[in-house]
Amino acid sequence: MNHHSPAHPPRSSEGGRAPLRVRGARALGRTPIARSAGFTLVEILVVMIIIALVLGLVATSLSRSISGAEAREAARKMVAELRYTRSRAILDKSEQLFTVHIEERAYAAPGRERVVLPDGVEMQLTTAASEVIADDVGAIRFFPDGGSTGGRVDLVANGRDYIVHVAWLTGEARLEVPDVDD
């Protein structure tokens, strides 16, 4: 009986089973090496270079942001020192000077430590002619009634202005940060 069913595979002439053959398959051991899933060294290097460039750009923009934050904080501290100087004039019933050193990027309130601005922050002073002490040193004078000679200090960092105004009549110090047109 030559009837072959899947339960009874054909037998070879030697009495054993016939070798298994599958259509379309190659002999065992001769299959081509399959490409492994993953990335090549070149692909990894390209991605790493792109990441390095992006991080470089982010670091640059963050450093500018930090300088802007430092400039804003320096301007706020200057306003506080100006207000302190005005208060000293009123409480002591005597004139007080807030001194600004342009070249050294520094200022001082009476009886306080001298403050030097952070690197990258430039300063310009506009004050009364009578308060110019030297070529690069000027002052804003506060009177016992709370008034002052008035003035303006411009702080500039990364092209951004921080303007400290001092009103001559009231001696009020305030910070103005103009909007930047993009």
Mean pLDDT value across the chain: 84
- How far CA 148 is from CA of 137, 153, 169, in Å, comes to 18, 14, 6
Domain count, the chain: 1
Report, as an integer, the average pLDDT of 139-154: 97
Flag whether 159 is in a domain: yes
Flag whether 19 is in a domain: no
> pLDDT band at 158, cuts 50/70/90?
confident
The residue range of the domain holding 60 is: 41-176
Query: Who wins on pLDDT, 160 or 28?
Result: 160
CATH of the domain at 147: 3.55.40.10
Flag whether 25 is in a domain: no
Helix ranges, 34-131 (H):
41-92
Give residue 159's pLDDT: 84
Give residue 18's pLDDT: 56
- CA-CA distance, 131 to 96, in Å (whole number)? 12
Flag whether 76 is in a domain: yes
Owner of token pair 């299959």: 31
Flag whether 149 is in a domain: yes
Cβ burial 154-178 (10 Å sphere, 16+ → b, else e): ebebeeeebbbbbeeeebbbebeee
